[in-house]
């Protein structure tokens, strides 16, 4: 029995180590390539940060593009958390006609390729005066995240015993106060999971900014890097591109490592209920 357990643990560690190496090697190579000497780049002699300087000085500048991406991602996370929390609580606790049908329709939106919705959304944003706007872009990215976010928040609320909510209502709390004063703390792992997903999707999205943003100074970081990589005569500045990938990846890695415990708990919150 002990030999079987040891063999199982060894197999687990070997598999986990192999997967870790598989995912880490491209990231390590990208970081190395961003500072290594390469021809036709700003870093041709020795190791250094010439490629990062090229990225820093490109058009409106790296700080401007970082601010644009941070603003869009922050608004997307805020909108997604508020709307999914309200929607998930309604689906989990309230009874109304057509609830299950409406929930299925909401989840079915996940099967629609979001790129097919960009042209209608482009026209709608133009009618609202939000075309070429970071606020309009954040609203579109929120739309993409809501189906999964509502599903995630529904199962998070359903995992909380109803007795907690009922005891608060006996003490005089209304539904909204119960949600904001009590329930929100119970579904914190689910909120963190939804927020992390929303941030990663908004931070790395390229298609929506490409269609909706035409002003170079309003471009988020992925769109700026895509335009930076194309140089004269059709050549590609691989060094500056790799530097841009490193800058884009760092916030995602830091957030995921910092929140991974809550991320796992958020996914497991509805496991017992299910």
Among 4-8, 143-147, 153-157, the range scoring the smallest mean pLDDT is 4-8
Pair 180, 221 in one domain: yes
Q: How far is CA 116 from CA 49, 53, 119, 248, 262, in A?
A: 40, 37, 7, 26, 33
Q: Which tens digit of pLDDT belongs to each residue from 71-116?
A: 999 999 999 999 999 999 989 888 888 888 888 888 888 888 878 8
Pair 66, 179 in one domain: yes
- Whether residue 41 lies inside any domain: the answer is no
Higher pLDDT, 222 or 231: 222
Q: Is the pLDDT of residue 215 over 60?
A: yes
State percent of the chain over pLDDT 90: 19
Angle, CA of 113, 201 and 122, to the nearest 5°: 55
Q: Is the dihedral of CA 221, 145, 127, 122 positive or negative?
A: positive
Q: Is the pLDDT of residue 124 over 80?
A: yes
Alpha carbon distance 49, 70 (integer Å): 23
Pair 20, 75 in one domain: no
Q: Is the pLDDT of residue 233 over 90?
A: no
- Whether residue 45 lies inside any domain: the answer is no
Among 155-169, 193-207, 254-268, the range scoring the smallest mean pLDDT is 254-268
Chain centroid offset of residue 83 CA: 16
- Whether residue 222 lies inside any domain: the answer is yes
Pair 21, 110 in one domain: no
Q: Identify the residue whose tokens are 């005891």.
A: 167
Pair 9, 142 in one domain: no
Predicted local confidence at residue 61, as pLDDT: 85
Pair 3, 111 in one domain: no
- Whether residue 31 lies inside any domain: the answer is yes
- Whether residue 150 lies inside any domain: the answer is yes
Pair 11, 116 in one domain: no
- Whether residue 273 lies inside any domain: the answer is no
Pair 17, 152 in one domain: no
Domain count for the chain: 2
Q: Is the pLDDT of residue 270 over 60?
A: no
Pair 117, 25 in one domain: no
Indicate the pTM of the whole model: 0.85
Pair 59, 193 in one domain: yes
Residue 5 domain boundaries = 1-35
Chain centroid offset of residue 218 CA: 20
Q: How far is CA 163 from CA 86, 191, 207, 231, in A?
A: 20, 21, 45, 63
**Rg value, the chain, Cα:** 23
User: What is the pLDDT confidence band of residue 267, given thresholds at 50, 70 and 90?
Assistant: low
Predicted local confidence at residue 158, as pLDDT: 87
Mean pLDDT throughout 22-33? 86
Mean pLDDT throughout 177-186? 83
Q: What are phi and psi of 230, to 5 degrees?
A: -90, 115
- Whether residue 44 lies inside any domain: the answer is no
Pair 58, 106 in one domain: yes
CATH number at residue 185: 1.10.3720.10
- Whether residue 216 lies inside any domain: the answer is yes
Pair 91, 203 in one domain: yes
Q: Is the pLDDT of residue 230 over 60?
A: yes
Q: Is the dihedral of CA 262, 267, 271, 273 positive or negative?
A: positive
Average pLDDT, the chain: 83
């Amino acid at each position: 029995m002990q030999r079987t357990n040891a063999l199982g643990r060894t197999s687990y560690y070997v598999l986990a180590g192999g997967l870790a190496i598989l995912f880490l090697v491209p990231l390590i190579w990208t970081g190395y390539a961003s500072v290594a000497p390469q021809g036709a780049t700003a870093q041709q002699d020795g190791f250094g940060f010439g490629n990062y300087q090229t990225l820093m000085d490109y058009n409106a500048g790296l700080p401007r593009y970082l601010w644009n991406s941070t603003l869009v991602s922050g608004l997307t996370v805020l909108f997604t958390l508020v709307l999914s929390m309200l929607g998930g609580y309604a689906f989990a606790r309230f009874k109304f006609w057509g609830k299950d049908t409406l929930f299925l329709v909401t989840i079915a939106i996940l099967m629609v390729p979001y790129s097919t919705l960009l042209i209608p959304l482009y026209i709608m944003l133009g009618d609202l005066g939000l075309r070429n706007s970071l606020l309009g872009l954040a609203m579109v990215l929120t739309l993409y995240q809501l189906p999964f976010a509502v599903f995630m928040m529904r199962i998070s609320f359903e995992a909380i015993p109803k007795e907690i909510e009922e005891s608060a209502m006996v003490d005089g709390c209304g539904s909204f106060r119960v949600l904001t004063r009590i329930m929100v703390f119970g579904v914190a792992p689910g909120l963190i999971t939804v927020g992390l997903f929303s941030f990663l999707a908004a931070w790395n999205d390229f298609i929506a900014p490409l269609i909706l943003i035409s002003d170079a100074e309003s471009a988020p970081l992925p769109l700026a890097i895509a335009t930076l990589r194309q140089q004269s005569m059709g050549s590609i500045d691989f060094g500056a591109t790799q530097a841009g990938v490193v800058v884009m990846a760092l916030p995602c890695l830091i957030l995921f490592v910092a929140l991974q415990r809550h991320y796992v708990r958020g996914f497991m919150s509805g496991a017992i209920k299910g």
